[in-house]
């Protein structure tokens, strides 16, 4: 396959199998036959590092100090075969976790993956999140995919909360709610009113042209009928980059509210990610990196949106999914 945007995979550590599994799925979507196999992915991986032997050895986590030079290629091939097998085992775990929402099917021997011929809106939702989780392959679409992920997360958060809850995009991007517009001071003041919080900051504390969101992408609260404070609330961060570990703290309420407002009942912090941050058995991939927050990854987003996909199918990302599917390339 030549000229594919997926010819050069991003070199994630092999510990994070979920990133490599995403690469396999993207190659499968693009393939002319809508199918890829373990052997094809082995070839593709080797071709991506052709002429970069040092990178190859690093990426397959080899210690070759005691290996004769003539045997290196054999060892590398064996280890690559083992790694690709791990990717496919992980993908099989995804098919179990997502069930009917998974847009791919396995061959009877589990060695090849095929994009289903009849794709439902639920399948396209999964594929849209796949694109959102791999912005490095879609430089020209990054801004749009990121904005769509905020809208998608807003819809999911709305499904998580009871009827009557207020849910809004606070971020300053194209998905921003009209409720929060203008300079930073105006938006913070409006949020303080909504949360019935006491303002601590002053207008002169903020640069007059500042419109930043300070790392807060989503806000939600369940309003009381009375006028007193103490509404249950959630702050949310939407992260489409692999750097979710550090981004998860940017919407932590006590940090974000510091010197801005005092809230009687601190909001919960929720972190939304289009990644499948899990091992093949559905457990978290890096639990030690997760703060004490509500983590909503690809699997939980799929569960939350299962009954309301129609609310998000108009997002531009669904059209981009169709375009990637249509832009077929010759198989390996």
| pLDDT for 58 | 41
Report the percent of the chain where pLDDT is more than 70.
88
Tell me how far apart the alpha carbons of residues 67 and 223 are, in angstroms, rounded to a whole number: 67
| pLDDT for 100 | 96
On the 0-12 / 13-18 / 19+ scale of CB atoms within 10 A, 166 is: middle
| Sheet of 112-115, strand order | 35-37, 112-115, 104-106
List the one residue out of 210, 204, 188 whose CA is nearest residue 261: 188
Question: What is the CATH code for 143-313?
Answer: 3.40.1350
| pLDDT for 73 | 47
| pLDDT for 207 | 82
| pLDDT for 329 | 59
**Residues in the chain where the model's pLDDT stays below 70:** 1-3, 50-76, 175, 211-213, 329-332
How is residue 64 written in tokens? 């070759």
Tell me how far apart the alpha carbons of residues 130 and 276 are, in angstroms, rounded to a whole number: 9
Q: What does DSSP assign to residue 322? A: H
How is residue 33 written in tokens? 């036959």
Tell me how far apart the alpha carbons of residues 263 and 171 are, in angstroms, rounded to a whole number: 20
| pLDDT for 211 | 64
- Domain boundaries defined on the chain: 17-118, 143-313
**Alpha helices for 99-183 (secondary structure H):** 121-132, 142-160
């Amino acid at each position: 396959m030549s000229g594919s945007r997926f010819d050069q995979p991003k070199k994630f550590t092999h510990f994070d199998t979920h990133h490599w599994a995403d690469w396999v799925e993207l190659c499968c979507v693009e393939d002319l036959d809508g199918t890829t196999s373990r052997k094809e992915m082995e070839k593709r991986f080797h071709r991506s590092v052709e002429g970069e032997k040092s990178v190859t050895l690093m990426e397959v986590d080899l210690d070759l100090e005691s290996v004769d030079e003539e045997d290196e290629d054999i060892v590398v091939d064996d280890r690559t075969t083992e790694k690709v097998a791990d990717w496919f085992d992980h993908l099989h775990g995804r098919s179990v976790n997502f069930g009917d929402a998974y847009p791919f099917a396995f061959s009877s021997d589990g060695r090849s993956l095929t994009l289903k011929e009849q794709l439902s809106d639920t399948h396209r939702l999964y594929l849209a999140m796949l694109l959102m989780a791999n912005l490095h392959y879609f430089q020209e679409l990054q801004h749009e995919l990121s904005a769509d992920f905020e809208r998608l997360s807003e819809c999911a958060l709305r499904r998580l909360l009871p009827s009557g809850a207020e849910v809004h995009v606070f971020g300053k991007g194209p998905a921003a709610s009209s409720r929060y517009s203008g300079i930073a001071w105006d938006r913070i003041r409006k949020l303080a009113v909504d949360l019935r919080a006491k303002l601590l900051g002053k207008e002169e504390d903020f640069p007059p042209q500042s419109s930043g969101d300070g790392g807060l992408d989503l806000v939600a609260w369940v309003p009381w009928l009375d006028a007193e404070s103490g509404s249950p609330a959630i702050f949310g961060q939407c992260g489409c980059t692999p750097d979710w570990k550090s981004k998860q703290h940017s919407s932590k309420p006590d940090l974000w509210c510091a010197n801005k407002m005092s809230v009687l009942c601190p909001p919960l912090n929720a972190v939304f990610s289009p990644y499948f941050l899990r091992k093949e058995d559905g457990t978290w991939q890096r639990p030690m990196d997760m703060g004490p927050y509500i983590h909503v990854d690809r699997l939980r987003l799929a569960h939350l949106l299962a009954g309301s996909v129609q609310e998000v199918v108009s997002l531009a990302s669904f059209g981009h999914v169709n375009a990637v599917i249509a832009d077929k390339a010759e198989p390996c």
